[in-house]
Amino acid sequence: MRPVPPSVADASAGPFALLDRWRTRVIFAAIMCVATLAQVLVTPISALVDTSVAWTLPLSPAVMITALTLGCMLQSASLALSARHPVLALTATIAAYVALLFVTNAPMWLAAMQLVIVLALFLVAARATPVLALGWAALITSAIALVWVGWTMTLGENPAHIVAFLIAEITRFALLAFSAAALGIWWHVVVSRADRARRGAEAVEREHEERIEQARAAERARIAQELHDVAGQHLAGLITLADAALKMAPAHPADALELVEDVRAEGRFAAASLASALQDLRAVDSGPIEVTRDLRQTAELIEFWRARGADVRLVSTAHPDDLPAVVSTTAYRVIAESLTNAAKYAPGARVEVTVGLSEGVLEISVVNAPGPDDAERHPGIGLGWGLTALGDRAELLGGSLTATTTSEGGWHVRTRLPVALVEA
């Protein structure tokens, strides 16, 4: 079975599959660090450039910039833990933000760091259930709110100003947090659906491979049975003919020689049949195959016998693709057996194969003219080629198979197979 790309490991993996490789984690953290620093350092750098603005913060500009740089780097690096430890990564991003808040006393400068916290929250929510994701959003919002309350209590500012500040900041962060949770929930649903689809595709592929293997096993069994039948019938025929030749040789040497000719002809056709069956057996394991021959291969069968000197003509008005498989395969086997018999008992004689479909019944007719030496063939030494078994199979399908002599002395094999009955 073909490997599935590791874009979605399982239903709980979510976006963490994107962070499986260390190089991806480094690039991800570096991008977030640059984006955060670019916003956090805007105000202190502007203050350094504009000398008319007094620096009132307790830390010097150099120390402040250093602290902000290290804090942003540590916070962004914490995101690399999200693939394996998302909760730890979320806690680390919050800790870096809180530490800088109390160190710098400049919350407005740190607004960009809240986006990193929200991103870490999204990575947690993407793995959690909807209830747990919303719970994490509420918990993180409450924790940040408590931090702001504790920080503002150290300022000694006007309570009205502090309350207004807290309401604005908490509301803004709550909207970001719950939006991240909602995105995480949506992502979890999307990834779960994709995972179910992937698993379903894998199950279908496994089932398909199992069916192919079962079909190959069935085809091997069919070919083995065909080899058994061909070998058994031909060997029995060869032994019978050889025994008859030995018995007739002392008194009727000419007749014995004729039987020897029959032995040679029987051996030739046995070799051809065995070669065909063995070729099918090799084809079973050589890649995609048509595991069961049917009427779609009739033209190939006709060319097979024409290449061996047979005069075979085919007239077909049926469309094999529209036929049930069991009907099509049975019809093919009837034609194959009939052509083999005609080539053996009437070599060189004209053979007419007609295939037609009328009123829900598939009709196959194989008529061969008499061979040049049919009248001199010895009666009673007939070798069955499976027409009896095929007749039984036709009866199981609700049809019939008859094999009779023609007025000219040839043979006429006629088969009728109901199509509508099989389809029903």
Cα separations in angstroms, 330 against 230, 262, 291, 364, 422: 18, 29, 14, 10, 12
Sheet of strand 311-316, all strands in order from the earlier edge strand to the far edge: 311-316, 350-358, 361-368, 411-418, 400-405
The confidence score (pLDDT) of residue 55 equals 73
Q: What is the mean pLDDT of each run of 10 residues along the chain (424 residues)?
A: 40 53 83 88 79 73 87 89 86 91 83 90 89 92 90 79 86 92 90 86 83 74 68 68 79 78 66 60 53 82 87 89 82 89 84 90 92 48 57 82 89 88 46
Question: Cα-flanking dihedrals φ and ψ of residue 403, to 5°?
Answer: -130, 115
- The helix (run of H) or strand (run of E) holding residue 355 is strand 350-358
- The helix (run of H) or strand (run of E) holding residue 314 is strand 311-316
The confidence score (pLDDT) of residue 50 equals 72
The confidence score (pLDDT) of residue 117 equals 92
Residue ranges per structural domain of the chain? 14-205, 294-424
The confidence score (pLDDT) of residue 230 equals 62
Taking a C-beta distance cutoff of 8 angstroms, is the pair 301, 320 a contact? no
Residue for token pair 């000197």:
309
Cα separations in angstroms, 404 against 316, 347, 418: 22, 18, 21
Beta partners for 403? 413
The rounded distance, in Å, linking the Cα atoms of 114 and 123 is 14
Tokens of 95: 């800790």
Fold of 294-424: Heat Shock Protein 90 (3.30.565)
End-to-end CA distance of the chain: 35
Provide DSSP, 253-313. HHHHHHHHHHHHHHHHHHHHHHHHHHHHHHHHTSSS--SS--GGGHHHHHHHHHTTT-EEE
Cα separations in angstroms, 190 against 85, 122, 186: 22, 14, 6
